[in-house]
Every structure is written in C-alpha cells, then in structure tokens.
C-alpha cells in the first residue's frame, strides 16, 4: 500500500494543486460577482455555468482521452482552466463570466477523469480502497487550502486571479513529467436509467437532490456570505469550515452505515442536516462564529450522503454491475447540480438571502419523506449483507476504484439468462 502511494506521489501532488486552484476560484468568483452587482438571477446562472461545463465534459473528455491520451488531455485542460480564470478580471460582464465558468467546469472534469483513470490503473485489489481514500483526502485538503488563500489577497485587485492561473499551470507539471506510462483508458459503460432506478429508487432521487444542494453550497456559498455582509476573510473561513466538517465526519458516518441499516443512517443524516440548517439560519442573525460552527456540522453530515447513496445502490448489485450503476448515479448527481445555483439565484431574487437555507431545507424534507416511503416499500437488507462504505467524490471513472467493483477475472464475462432472472427476482 505504502509503495503504491509513494509511486503515485506526482499524481497526487498535481491533484492537490489543481484542487487548490478550484477551491480558491470558487470562493473568489462568488465574492466578486456580488461586488460587481450582477444581480441574484444572473449570479446564479454564472455560478451554474461551472456545473453545465462539468456535466458536458464528463461525456466529451473520455472520448478525447481515448483518442489522444492522458497527458495531452490533461495539459489541454490545465491550459483551459489557467486561461479562463484570467478572462474574468479583464472582461467583467456576466455573460462572459458564465461562458468562462462553463469552460472551467469542462476543464476541471477533464483533469478529474485523467487523474482518476490513472489512479485506477495503478490500483490493485489490495490497494484500491487505500488509494481512493488518499485521493479523497487530497481533494478535500486542496479545496480547504484554496479557500483559505482568499485571506491573502485584495478584494479588488487581479492578484488572486493570477494566483489561480499560476497554481493550475503548475499542477500540470508533475503529471506531465511523470515517468509512468499512460494507462489504457476504458470508459465505464453506464447501466440503463430504468435498471438503476429499479435497483434503488432511493439512490436515484437522493443523488439528484444531493447534487442540487451541493451546487448551492459550493457554487453560491460565497455569494450568500458576501450578501450577509461578511468580510473577504470571513467568507474564506465560512467556506473552509464547510469542507473541514466534511473531512472530519465523513469516515465516522460511513463507518456507522456499515454497522446498521444504511437507510437508517441516510435518514438520520438528512434529519441532522435539516436541524443544522435551521440552527445556521438563526446563527446567521446572531454570530459569525456560531454560523461557521453550524455550517461546519452541516457540511460534515450532508457531504457523506453522496457516498452513502452510491453504497446503498451497490448493496443490491453483483460486482460486475457496480461500475456502470455508479457511473449513472454520478451523472444523475451532475444533472441535479446544474439546477442548484440558478434556482437559488432566482429564489434569492424573490425572497431574499434566507433562500440559501430555505431551499436546502425543502430538499431535505422531501428526502426525509422519501426515505420513510422507501423503508416502508422495501424490507431492510441484513447488515451483514451490506457492502463496505467508501468515501467517493469524483467522476464516473472514480467508481472503478470502489472495492465492490473487484471480481475474479476468471468469471465468465457473459451472464446467463438464469442469473439475470434471479437478480431481477431479488430486486423486485
């Protein structure tokens, strides 16, 4: 395991750098958009452009990788991300910013796909889970570092935009100079939507709403904080607190889901998220400190939902079905994310800044009701039959790293009709 991590240090270092750039950029643009008075609706569209680009790139980039290779694609994506951020301070028009956010989202998903496929190529059955864990830690750490860097810049200058460009450019160096051979790229083959929904309706609905809420928090969180009257530094601390909470609580919550019925953990997590959102709303009128604490707790309990829903779906799958199903769930999550920021922007326009909490509260209430319904509609799976929880956040390629996806290569690649019928019976 240690050898696998050491041999991949250049890859993880490159990932750390472009996540630093991503974290800084997201917070910076949210603050600047508010300063430039784009308006609530337009700001939501601007920040939502990232997720549209991210979703689009998840289909296009794999084809590019298959055609020209990992290193070339990573270099191109890093160049796009580096150049697009510099356009923002030069042309301060909302429509241009939305286009640049689209390009940024497209570029970042490209770098995710290249990195995740490279990690997957290096993974063996014994190191798969460990490498995925390191990948997730590096992601969150990079995001936190980037968000905290906002405190070192000026509120009106170009310095932070240039810093993002420099950091992302440097991210390409360790990866493009790696001595390792580029892996053979195999894009996960998604399962049909009907099959995925039949397998786990709860995971399908949950992933869509989780993506919607995540886009609100990470796409519009800095905008909300600025409208609340926070200083440049306070906005940075506000966003760091959310990621820090996620980093601390993801493992304990995931471990709990391995010990008891996973749907129970999902239900408790949504209820806690609802409670911390209400507490955050009241804290926002009293104290910046307590708002940060409550949002850290909210980030801590809500972020694992992404992995919990994937794990819940995988509990009902054979190993050969895991990658395709997880890929489809990631796509559904991306669809939800596209609408998060624009819907919030419009809602803020209608009812004010409190929409940041109220929209998410509504989403969690919907999910609590749906979890109760699914617990009534399908019997609980025995705890001993559940697969292991693995924290995951990334593209469909990352699903290939899930331990549940391991199988004996000697297995017959073609399932028999009898096996398929048995599986259908079990899922009904």
**pLDDT value at position 419?**
40
Instruction: State how far the Cα of 29 lies from the Cα of 13, in Å rounded to an integer.
Output: 25
Among residues 133, 158, 183, the one where a domain terminates is 183
Q: Are 172 and 253 within one domain?
A: no
**pLDDT value at position 318?**
65
Q: Are 145 and 163 within one domain?
A: yes
Most confident of the following: 76-85, 112-121, 267-276, 329-338: 267-276
**pLDDT value at position 312?**
83
The answer as to whether 398 is a domain residue is: no
Residue-number span of the structural domain to which 365 is assigned: 188-393
The answer as to whether 283 is a domain residue is: yes
Q: Are 170 and 205 within one domain?
A: no
Calculate what percentage of the chain has a pLDDT beyond 90.
42
How many structural domains compose the chain?
2
Contact 243, 140 (CB under 8 A): yes
Query: Helices 70-90 & 9-35, crossing angle to 10 degrees?
Result: 20
- Phi, psi of 218, deg, nearest 5: -90, -20
In terms of Cα–Cα distance, which of 149, 63, 162, 160 is closest to 113? 63
Q: Are 340 and 224 within one domain?
A: yes
Report DSSP letters for 76-138, one per residue.
HHHHHHHHHHHHHHHS--HHHHHHHHHHHHHHHHHHHHHHHHHHHHH--TTTHHHHHHHHHHH
Q: Which residue has the higher pLDDT, 397 or 95?
A: 95
The answer as to whether 83 is a domain residue is: yes
Q: Residue range 357-370: average pLDDT?
A: 96
In terms of Cα–Cα distance, which of 251, 49, 9, 289 is closest to 135? 9
pTM of the entire predicted model: 0.85
Q: How many CA atoms lie within 13 A of 227 on its CB side?
A: 21
CATH of the domain at 202: 1.20.1250.20
**pLDDT value at position 241?**
93
pLDDT band at residue 1 under the 50/70/90 scheme: low
Q: To which residue do tokens 């955050």 refer?
A: 280
CA 372 remoteness from chain centre? 26
CA 341 remoteness from chain centre? 14
Token pair listed for 146: 């980037």
Examine the pLDDT at 347 and tell me if it is beyond 50: yes
Q: Dihedral (C-alpha) 246, 249, 251, 256: value to the nearest 10 degrees?
A: -130
**pLDDT value at position 384?**
60
Contact 389, 307 (CB under 8 A): yes
pLDDT in tens, 382-416: 666 666 655 566 555 555 555 555 544 333 344 43
**pLDDT value at position 105?**
92
Instruction: State how far the Cα of 166 lies from the Cα of 171, in Å rounded to an integer.
Output: 9
Token pair listed for 411: 């297995």
């Amino acid at each position: 395991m240690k050898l696998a991590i050491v041999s991949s240090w250049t890859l993880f270092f490159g990932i750390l750098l472009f996540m630093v750039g991503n974290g800084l950029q997201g917070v910076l643009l949210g603050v600047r958009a508010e300063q430039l008075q784009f308006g609530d609706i337009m700001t939501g569209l601007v920040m939502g452009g990232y997720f549209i680009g991210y979703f689009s790139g998840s289909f296009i980039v794999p084809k590019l990788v298959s055609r020209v290779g990992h290193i070339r694609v990573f270099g191109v994506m890093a160049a796009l991300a580096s150049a697009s951020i510099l356009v923002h301070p030069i042309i301060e028009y909302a429509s241009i910013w939305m286009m640049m956010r689209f390009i940024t989202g497209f570029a970042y998903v490209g770098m995710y796909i290249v990195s995740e496929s490279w990690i997957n190529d290096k993974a063996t059955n014994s190191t798969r889970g460990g490498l995925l864990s390191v990948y997730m830690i590096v992601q969150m750490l990079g995001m936190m570092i980037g968000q905290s860097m906002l405190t070192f810049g000026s509120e009106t200058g170009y310095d932070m935009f240039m810093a993002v460009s420099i950091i992302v450019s440097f991210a390409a160096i360790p990866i493009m100079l790696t001595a390792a051979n580029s892996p053979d790229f195999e894009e996960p083959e998604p399962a049909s939507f009907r099959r995925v929904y039949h397998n786990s309706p709860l995971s399908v609905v949950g992933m869509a709403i989780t993506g919607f809420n995540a886009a609100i928090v990470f796409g519009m969180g800095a905008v909300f904080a600025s409208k609340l009257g926070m200083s440049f530094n306070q906005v940075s601390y506000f966003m760091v607190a959310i990621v820090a909470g996620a980093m601390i609580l993801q493992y304990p919550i995931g471990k709990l889901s391995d010990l008891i019925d996973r749907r129970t953990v999902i239900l408790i997590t949504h209820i806690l998220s609802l409670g911390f959102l209400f507490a955050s709303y009241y804290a926002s009128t009293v104290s910046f400190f307590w708002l940060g604490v409550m949002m850290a707790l909210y980030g801590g309990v809500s972020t694992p939902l992404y992995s919990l829903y994937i794990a819940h779906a995988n509990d009902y799958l054979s190993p050969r079905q895991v990658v395709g199903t997880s890929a489809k769930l990631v796509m559904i999550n991306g669809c939800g994310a596209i609408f998060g920021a624009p819907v919030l922007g419009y809602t803020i326009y209608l009812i004010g800044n409190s929409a940041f909490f109220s929209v998410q509260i509504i989403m969690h209430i919907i999910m609590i009701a749906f979890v109760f319904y699914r617990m009534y509609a399908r019997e609980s799976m025995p705890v001993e039959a559940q697969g292991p929880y693995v924290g995951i956040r990334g593209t469909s390629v990352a699903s290939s790293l899930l331990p549940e996806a391991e199988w004996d290569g000697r297995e017959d690649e073609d399932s028999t009709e009898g096996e398929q019928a048995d599986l259908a019976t079990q899922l009904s």
